[in-house]
Structures are given as C-alpha cells and as structure tokens.
Structure 1
Amino acid sequence: MKKKVLIGMSGGVDSTVTAVLLQKEGYEVEGVYMKLHNKPGYHEENWKKVQRVADYLGIKVHFYDLSKEFNNEVYTYFIESYKEGLTPNPCVMCNRTIKFGKMVEFADSIGAEHIATGHYIQCDGEFIYAADDPNKDQSYFLCEVRKEVLPRLIFPLGTWVKEDVKAYAARIEVLKDFATQKESSEICFVENTYDEVLARHMNIDIPGETVDTEGNVVGTHKGYMHYTIGKRRGFFVNGAHEPHFVLDIRPETNQIIVGTREKLEVNAFKVKQINLFEDLTEFDCQVKVRYRTRAVPCHVKIEEGKASVVLSEPVFGLAKGQAAAFYDGKRLLGGGLIC
C-alpha cells in the first residue's frame, strides 16, 4: 500500500516541485492550501495555481482556512512583541504552531502518515539538517518545531539548489510559468514594511528621547517601534561624529538607547522557550542568532528552563525576541528565543 503524504502547497515553485517529486517516488499525494491571513487577492490567485497543479497531477487538494488560528498564534504575537520592544520572528512561531502543528492535525484527520513542504531542509526522522544549498537553507526557522513530529516530515528539496528546482519546473510544459514567478517574501503578511503592519493597530509615530549608555538624553527619535537592535538610521544624536546604532529599546518610556558599533558587541546571552531534539543540559555547539548570519561556536548550559549561552567570539546586534538556533555542524539541535 502506498504511504499517504500531505503536502503544504502555496502555489509557488518549491511546493509544486515537491508534489511532483513525491508522486514520482510512489507516494499517495494530497495537497493542502492553508489560508493564513486576509491580504486582498492573495489567496484567490494562489489557490488557482494550487488547483492547476492538482489537476495536472490528478491529486486531491484541500483549502484549509487557518486565518483565525494564525491571527491568534502568529500575527498577534508579532504585534505584541513589537509593543514590548522585541524583534519577533513570526516564521519560527508559524512553523511550530501552524505549518507543523495544525497541518499535522489535519494530516491525521485524512489518514496521512507523512507531512511534506517545499522547505530547503533535510530530515532523517530524528533530526533536522541544514540544506545542501546554503543560500536557501531554512533549518533555522524550524528550531522550535516539536520533536515528536520529526519522524513524519519529508523535505525533498533539501539536496537541491534553487536554480535546479526552477529548471525542473521549466521542463514541465504546464508548470513552466512557476519557474519564473516572483519569489514570495519570508513574512507572508508583510507587503512592504513592518511599520505599515504595526500602524494598522496603533500609533507608532510618537516622538521620544534618544539616550546614551550613561542615561544622558542625546537626541530624539520618531517612535520606538520604528527601530530594531543594530539599526543606525532614522534617529537624531546631537553632535555625533561617528555612526550610532540602536543598542536597546525601552517601550515603557518610549526611549531608544544608542551607542557606537563596538557597544553592539555581545559575548553572552540568555535563551528562553527551549526546544531541543535530544536531551541536553550542557553542551558545546554553534549558534545562529539571526537567519542571515554565520553560526558561531558557543557553550550552552540549561538551568530552570533557560539557557545561558557563552560565545567563543562576539556577535553584533543581538535582538531580544529573535530565535537562537543551535547546531552541531549541519545538524539542528533545536533552539529558543533570545531574552
């Protein structure tokens, strides 16, 4: 009997090629399109693409409205985090609660043993590994996925490079245009800037004080939610002769703390909401503190639900609320949220 796999289909080239590959491998394929937000026109266009792929492959596809769950678990988390002066990573939260949370529950409801997506990741059923294409690797975003779902995950594109995926789609007449369509943004509900999203829910343009590390007021800014740690523009510093960067954000007083680049340097930090794929309490590994950064060697000690991370070399612009992903080489050990 063929094993059934549920594929998260977005209407993009990656999930489309994933569906084609798994059907060729002999799986009984069903697709699911997950409606996560209410961006005008977004879902109608993509749902039509998914249906076209389903017709080509002769598979069943489901339209699954998760907009309420997404709003509660991801979108509200994004808004509230910025209110608190944090820099959230909604994709990490979405992968935990929606794509590899609610989607897994849906797979159970239709009797699908496996779950697949077009992520550039590798998984052996026990661990997640970085993709072979370092420019597309998305393992960082799965550091908070629950351990118990790993045996069910399939990622066919983990050994592919993006150019080959596009070339593969281009060779299939009915799917040629998938190979040339515009890449989707990482954060699906953001059309242009985060500011535009936040401004729908609150007044983000409340001027405040720019303060140095000694507590002296040295200038002004246009509202603390316009800034993230490491930002160097958009605020005023009296008499500054060298670039200043945002070092910290104080939402309770609508202040930002600024200083020179060397003051962005961090050698140790804490992580909460720890999620590991094996039982570890003290270990050496590498850590990524943002998606587009190099993994840095570190020592991790977990006590009372939090991890203390000591780096072997400093990182710059560490932001509270971002994910910290722990690696042993290409193997993802898990991660947590910087606090």
Structure 2
Amino acid sequence: MKKILVGVSGGVDSLSAVLYFKNLNFEVFPYFLILSEKNLIEKEKVVQLYKDLGFKIIVEDRRDYFKEKIIDYFIKTYRDGRTPNPCAFCNRLVKFPLLVSKMKELGFEKFSTGHYIRVDRGFLYKGKDKKKDQSYYVSTVKKDDLKFFENSITSFLSKDEIKKFVSGNNVEIKVKESQDICFIKDNYVDFLNENGFFDEEGEMVDDNGKVLKKHSGYYRFTIGQNVKIGGLDEKYFVKKIIPLKNRIVVCKRDGLKVKEFLLTPLEIFSDERKDLKVKIRYRNEEVECEIEDFKGNIKVITKDYIYGVTPGQIGVLYRDDKVVLSGVIEK
C-alpha cells in the first residue's frame, strides 16, 4: 500500500485531502504542526478528530523554528517600514520544507495538503475554485519541494464540492477555519507593541513636505492605506513610509498609480515572457504586464495603472493558470 503524508490544520480542506487519499487506498498519515499558540489550543480537537477516524496523526511542536523563520521576519519587515507577507513566507520556509523533511524521514515518496493549487510536471497552477485559489501564497515554495507534492481533491473541486465530499463521509468538523494570521491574537499593532514597538509622535506630510497632521508610529501604516486628514474632505492615502524619520508621506489617489515596479525573485518556475499578468495582493485582480531583467531584479511594466504597490508584499506573475514566477516587491 502506498503511503502519503498530509499536512493538516483541522479544517475541512486538509480533512478532505486525508479522506480523498484514504479512498484511493493510500495509507494516510496526517501531520499537524504546532507553530503558534492558536495551534496549541486546537491540538486536542485535531488529534481527537483524526484518532476517531482511525488515522495515526503525527504532531510536532515547531514554535521555535516558526519564530526564527516567520515571526522575526515579520517584526523586522515592519521595523524597516515595509509590509510583510507571513503566510507566503511560511509556506516557503516552514510548512512545505517541514512536510518534505518529515516525508523523507518516514521513507515516503509523496506529501500533500489541502491547498487549492495544482502541480503538474514541476509547474504550479491555480486550483479549480478561482475564489479559493491559493497559488498566490504557494508561488513562493521552492520547486525542489513541490516536486514531491501529490495533487489532492482541492486541486480539482470547488469549496462547495469539498464540503459535500466531507459531509458524504459522515465527518463533523470541530475546528473553526481561520483567515487571520495565526500568531496575531487581535491586531498586528498590539502584537508589535508587545514586541518592542512603541508609540512615538511623527509627522504625516504631503508630497511637498507640508505637515498635515501628527501620527503615533510609522509601523501602524502600509502603502495604499486610506488616512483621514482632519478638516479636509478629500481622501488621502499612504504613499511612502520613512522609518528613520518616523514620517508618513501621503497623497491623493492618483499619486499612488504606477506602471512600473521591481521584484526580487523568490522562485522562477518558467522562463515564459509573453501573455503575462501580475498580481500584487491576494485579493487583487491580475493585470496584464511585461517584464524585463533589471540589475538582478525583475522590472514589471503593467499595461494599465495599478495602485498601492507595496514593498515587502509578494508579486506573482501568471500565464493563464500557470505561475511563472514570484518575488518580493521592492519599489
């Protein structure tokens, strides 16, 4: 009997993957990683869920490793006046590498997850459910890790179909799914305050350097964020963050529009250069673009203006449903 390791969270998507491979006559080993206090709280319910279903679940506490790779990166990125993407970097540096490492340790040949993605001959594609597609977040994962990935039921079905599949197996989900950053309890500002960031009065200025108001800390802002200027009816948005001066530069919406920006490549899946589109945030629409090599980086030139290009975030280039490359937005 073939054996497979499946990363699980306790939610319906990873559970569907476990049940899917069981139905294909795999011997399935669920793998639950404790990366945050939230995971620790959920551990008992997740373990009980899979034990009740007859699976030998593997649990590992890797909070120290997660702190080193993700929490420290998250804090440093905000300190540098940039906006981190912890989920994308967690997939690249923590979850997928640990899955591959455990898979090899157990002597298995394949692993899987409940991600809405599809992998084919080394290339990464969007999952069938475009509303739930997670290729944006998985685009950062190393090709050498993805080559061991076995497509699951979430590669080919929609979220609604996944729920019906799980219900058809008479399984009750006991862990609430979360869309939030796993290590943030309430909001990221409180988290940063608990980790060495302190309120300090700074200036909010326009493009000409005119002081419009005071603020209480540059780390509270991200590029494109709407800010209210007392006494002014017009909307202003964060255009630039200057950490060393604790200064926020704001502008009207047109001041945010750009047609060019730079990416530092993370993972290059394909050398395709035609018919490309770029996505600069998970919920953003893709925009037609061209790319050029530029001093070790990649210059992205969009067909239409885009708004809120944010240093530190992930930019992903697609050709149709295929991921061409991912990178960190520089400027």
- Place the TM-score, normalised by the shorter chain, in its bin: over 0.9
The aligned residue for residue 167 of structure 2 is 170
Cα distance in 1 for partners of 2:104, 2:32 equals: 16
Determine if contact 1:170/1:177 at 8 Å carries over to the other structure: no
Is 1:263 the counterpart of 2:259? The answer is no
Pairwise CA distance, 1:184: 1.0
Contact 2:111-2:149 within 8 A present in 1 as well: yes
2:32 alignment counterpart: 33
Q: 1:52 aligns with which of 34, 49, 53?
A: 49
1:309 aligns with 2:280: no
The answer to which of 47-56 and 100-109 deviates more is 47-56
Say whether the 8 Å CA contact 2:14–2:114 is kept in structure 1.
Answer: yes
Secondary structure, aligned partner of 1:210: strand
Residue identity in the other structure for 2:108: A
Contact in 1 for aligned 2:265/2:325 (Cα 8 Å): no
- Shift of residue 23, structure 1, vs aligned partner: 1.1
Match of 2:195 among 197, 201, 223: 201
Please name the residue that 1:219 is paired with.
213
Q: Does 1:145 align with 2:144?
A: no
Deviation at residue 26 of structure 1 after TM alignment: 2.0
Q: Structure 1's 118 and 135: CA in aligned 2 closer, same or farther, altered over 3 A?
A: same
Question: Quick one: distance in 1 between partners of 2:151 and 2:181?
Answer: 20
Equivalents in 2 of 1:338, 1:166: separation in Å? Answer: 35
**RMSD of aligned residue pairs (Cα, Å):** 1.8
Displacement after TM superposition at 1:225 (Å):
0.9
Partner of 2:290: 299
Q: Which residue of 1 aligns with 2:318?
A: 327
CA displacement, residues 192-218 of structure 1 (integer Å, 9 cap, x when unaligned): 211121111123421210011122222
Q: Distance in 2 between matches of 1:44 and 1:338?
A: 34
For residue 247 of structure 1, the aligned residue among 239, 242, 262 is 239
Mapped to 2, the partners of 1:73 and 1:253 lie a distance apart of 28
Cα distance in 1 for partners of 2:41, 2:301 equals 48
Q: Find the counterpart in structure 1 of residue 276 from structure 2.
A: 285
Distance in 2 (alpha carbons) for counterparts of 1:52 and 1:67: 22
State the distance in 2 between where 1:165 and 1:50 align: 21
Check if 1:275 corresponds to 2:274: no
SS at match of 1:141: helix
Is 1:117 aligned to 2:88, yes or no? no
Whole-Å Cα distance in 2 between the matches of residues 100 and 334 of structure 1? 17
TM-score, normalization by structure 2: 0.94
SS at match of 2:244: coil
The Cα of 1:98 is off from its aligned counterpart by: 0.9
Aligned-pair CA distance for 1:55:
3.6
Superposed CA deviations along residues 141-193 of structure 1, whole A, max 9, x for unmatched, are 011111112221123202221122222222333x2245xx5321242112221
Aligned AA (1:160): L
Aligned residues: 329
Bigger shift: residues 139-148 or 191-200 = 191-200
What amino acid maps onto 1:197 in structure 2?
F
Structure 1 residue corresponding to 2:70, chosen from 60, 68, 74: 74
Rounded to whole Å, the distance in 1 between the matches of 2:328 and 2:274 is 18
Q: Runs of 5+ in structure 2 lacking a partner?
A: none
Q: In 2, are the aligned partners of 1:128 and 1:331 still within 8 Å (CA)?
A: yes
Residue equivalent to 2:186: 192
Structure 1 range deviating more: 161-170 or 23-32: 161-170
Using structure 1 for the length normalisation, give the TM-score: 0.92
Residues 220 and 236 in structure 1, CA contact (< 8 A), matched pair in contact too: no
Once the 2 structures are TM-superposed, how far is the Cα of residue 115 of structure 1 from its aligned partner?
1.3
Contact 2:50–2:56, Cα closer than 8 Å, also in 1: no
Runs of 4+ deviating beyond 3 Å: none
- 1:94 alignment partner in structure 2: 90
